[in-house]
Amino acid sequence: MGPYDASIPTGSGSCSSSSSSSCARKASDVDGLLAGAGYKVKSSDLLQVAKRLERLETFMVNTPSEISQQLASDTVHYNPTDLASWVDSLLSEFNHNYNQPHSFSSSVSDLSDFTADLHFSSVPDYWIEKNYTSPPHHPLTAVAAAATEEDSGIRLVHLLMTCAESVQRGDVSLAGSLIDYMQTLLSQVNRSSGIGKVAGYFIDALSRRLFYPQAVCAGSAFENEIWYHHFYEACPYLKFAHFTANQAILEAFDGHDCLHVIDFNLMYGLQWPALIQALALRPGGPPFLRITGIGPASPDGHDSLRGIGLKLAELARSVNVRFAFRGVAASRLDHVKPWMLKVGPAEVVAVNSIMQLHRLLSSEESLDTVLAWIRSLKPRIVTVVEQEANHNEPEFLDRFTESLYYYSTMFDSLEACTIQPEKTVAEMYIQREICNIVSCEGLARVERHEPLAKWKARLGAAGFWPLHLGSNAFKQANMLLTLFSAEGYCVEEKEGCLTIGWHSRPLIAASAWQAAPDPPPDPVPTPAPHVVVSS
């Protein structure tokens, strides 16, 4: 009998005093108290986990501390919420290197060697720590209606909600008067920052919804391109998306030579030069890379997809990576058919979706169709980055409220950017999203953001298993943040996914997936035995 006999109360509290059957029922549940601390451990596994922690401690006590720390820092950690597997991964690292104090570094296979050049020069870990003058210590989020704003700011928020509520009820005349009143109030508030700035965009979007519902929210192709590039430079959200996805793709492609990346929205191809460069530096030589870029057909007839492809090919040539590009023009992802992607039999496929899946949510069928054909390609990895927000609730007021807080936070983070004109022009990129969420409906409303939890459920149901993003991606995402002067950005790990946010409100979430193996075919049913009951 170990030290944990039945008399010591366990986490569920009531187990020791209740009947054995209720104990059995609870055994397969996650320990509720540890869950409140952020850890998922099944009650039935508690003893096992405790034993493994003990074993880990024994290893650590018998290893010099410098080596323990080096091991910890070189190891890629995954999903600390799953405490059992985290402890196990450390155990296997220590076990592997136990009694081999001098060869530990060579035994840890880690992609950080060649991905370090992805965006920055590789510097030893301790150098970064020592030179932290103002480290990102992940402060918490500020809500739009925070106490730091003056009275008119708070009043504006209340009025916006009241106006949105009257819009939802169909009371056009009240909504209209409220909009007029808010415009006047706006003139008394500082419009260049904080609530004044955000309110302006939302008032504008509300008035569009009421009076110009047919108006299109996007700018011209030229404008969109300018806004995108400025947003890309002014804040880290897009770079985080590209960078994290690339890291995951690189890891998934490790050991393979015939690679095919399918990009769900090529845009200006900004994600790919870094990947191409990283592949060029791969030990053992670069593989063959094909990129298929999906994007809308250019209105003026000129093949913009091909143009980007040519630039990428040029870059690939300059670093000796064998490269091929194909553009697939489609106005919607559900118009794409798998045969258009021409996936070769020997190719290892990565599907990359940066803020595209939510656009399919105007019809459940569209998303199901696309997820099904993604799966049919048997991709090695599917990288998904989405806005971490609930902007697709059925009720307008809920969408409005959510997006008000979400974009307030995002504008807050932009405010901290000092580069001009990036900052002002970047706002147009955001304004376009606000406009779409608030003033559009039906198929026109494409910015149907949903939170990570919902995406996890959808992807799980469609036959995908999560691939965890680890501490290496986390660390490098943090290093990306050091390029941005603003203090409030933070990267967080959440059960194998990474989020980037401002003052701890996550705004963008990145996750990676693989197709679950096909279930085995149903066994051929055997005929029921002929039963004779004799009396």
Q: Taking CB under 8 A as the criterion, which residues in 74-113 touch another protein?
A: 77, 80-81, 83, 87, 90
- Determine if 188 is a binding residue for another protein (CB under 8 A): no
Among 98, 120, 126, 465, binds another protein (CB under 8 A): 126
98 or 132: CB nearest another protein: 132
- Determine if 125 is a binding residue for another protein (CB under 8 A): yes
The answer, yes or no, to whether the previous bond of 517 is cis (omega within 30 of 0) is no
**Helix, strand or coil for residue 520?**
coil
**Helix, strand or coil for residue 162?**
helix
Question: Residue 63 carries which DSSP code?
Answer: S
Stretch that binds another protein, among 73-81, 215-223, 227-235, 365-373 (CB under 8 A): 73-81
14 or 363: CB nearest another protein: 14
User: Least CB distance from residue 61 to another protein, whole Å?
Assistant: 5
Among 13, 101, 344, 460, binds another protein (CB under 8 A): 13
Distance CA 402, CA 393 (A): 9
Asked if 408 and 199 touch (Cβ cutoff 8 Å), the reply is no
Tokens read off for 291: 């990129």
User: Least CB distance from residue 433 to another protein, whole Å?
Assistant: 21
Asked if 338 and 427 touch (Cβ cutoff 8 Å), the reply is no
Q: Between residue 145 and residue 164, which ones bind another protein under the rule CB under 8 A? A: 145-148, 151, 154
- CA terminus-to-terminus distance, the chain: 52
Q: Between residue 20 and residue 39, which ones bind another protein under the rule CB under 8 A? A: 31, 33-34, 36-39
Give 435's Cβ-side CA count (13 Å radius). Answer: 17
Stretch that binds another protein, among 60-68, 239-247, 294-302, 515-523 (CB under 8 A): 60-68
445 or 505: CB nearest another protein: 505
**Helix, strand or coil for residue 432?**
helix
381-387/348-354 β-pairing: parallel
Among 23, 27, 53, 186, binds another protein (CB under 8 A): 53
- Determine if 327 is a binding residue for another protein (CB under 8 A): no
323 or 405: CB nearest another protein: 405
User: Least CB distance from residue 9 to another protein, whole Å?
Assistant: 5
Q: Which residue has the tokens 């592997």?
A: 96
- Determine if 44 is a binding residue for another protein (CB under 8 A): no
What stretches of 134-267 adopt beta strand conformation (E)? 258-263
Handedness of CA 436, 441, 444, 448 (dihedral sign): positive
Q: Between residue 249 and residue 268, which ones bind another protein under the rule CB under 8 A? A: none
Among 277, 348, 505, 510, binds another protein (CB under 8 A): 505
Among 27, 89, 119, 138, binds another protein (CB under 8 A): 138
Total residues in contact with another protein, by rule CB under 8 A: 73
- Determine if 143 is a binding residue for another protein (CB under 8 A): yes
Among 17, 21, 65, 173, binds another protein (CB under 8 A): 65
Residues 499-534 as b or e (16 or more Cβ within 10 Å = b): bbbbbebbbbbbbbbbbeeeeeeeeeeeeeeeeeee
123 or 372: CB nearest another protein: 123
Q: Which helix (H) or strand (E) holds 340?
A: helix 338-341
What stretches of 246-400 adopt beta strand conformation (E)? 258-263, 288-295, 323-329, 348-354, 381-387
- Determine if 508 is a binding residue for another protein (CB under 8 A): no
Q: Between residue 445 and residue 504, which ones bind another protein under the rule CB under 8 A? A: 471, 474-475, 478, 487-488, 490-493, 503-504
Q: Which of 92, 122, 87, 124 is nearest to 107 (CA)?
A: 92
